[in-house]
Amino acid sequence: MPITVAMIEEKEFKTKMRGYDPVEVDEFLDDICDEMVAMQEEIATLNQRLSQAALGGAYAPAAAPAPSVTPAPVPPPAAVQQSAPKPAPRVQEAPAAPREETSEAAQRLLNQAQKVYDQTVAEAKAKAEEILNDANEKASMDMEALEDEKQALMQEVDMLKQTAKDYRERFLRLIEDQQHVLKAETSLFE
């Protein structure tokens, strides 16, 4: 079932707690209605030009006839109201073709939007994977560097322990030597 301007304007939504702002929704729906009216006028203008061209008439820009779907009265913006041309006599229109063309155009637009969405998601996933791989690689390199630093520190600790052990042994020998000297001297004085 095709949606008309009148259907949009007459649509009432139930209000619920913490729902959308009704004034904002109404304003947006009014904008949609204005856009639909403009599109219908453009379609009618193009159909009129097509009919004139088919009849072999010279191209004479004429005002757009009233759209085939009669919209409920919507006050257009002031700029559109001042520059709106007066309606010309109705030319017979092909009723289904504009809707089918509009529907096909909308479907193509949706398909393109889906492709852009899919491409954007794929690019985001690829970028996320690249960032993750870079982070893992950096972490791996940092771990290797830390492991090398740990090995160097362990070697330094081992060297310090060996130095401390050597110093202790020399110190103990020095004390033993001094004890022998002291014992020898005390035996002289007895």
Domain that holds residue 68: 5-94
* Mean pLDDT of each 10-residue bin along the chain, 190 residues long: 81 79 86 89 90 69 48 43 43 54 81 89 91 92 93 95 94 90 70
Q: What is the pLDDT of residue 8?
A: 82
Cβ proximity of 93 and 69 under 8 Å: no
In a domain, 66, yes or no: yes
| Closest alpha carbon to 88 in 54, 51, 143 | 51
Does residue 157 fall inside a structural domain?
Answer: no
Residue 110 lies in a domain: no
Determine, yes or no, domain membership for 158: no
Does residue 35 fall inside a structural domain? yes
Q: Is residue 107 part of a domain?
A: no
Residue 53 covered by a domain: yes
Please indicate, yes or no, if residue 55 is contained in any of the structural domains.
yes
What pLDDT sits at residue 91?
Answer: 42
Tally of domains in the chain: 1
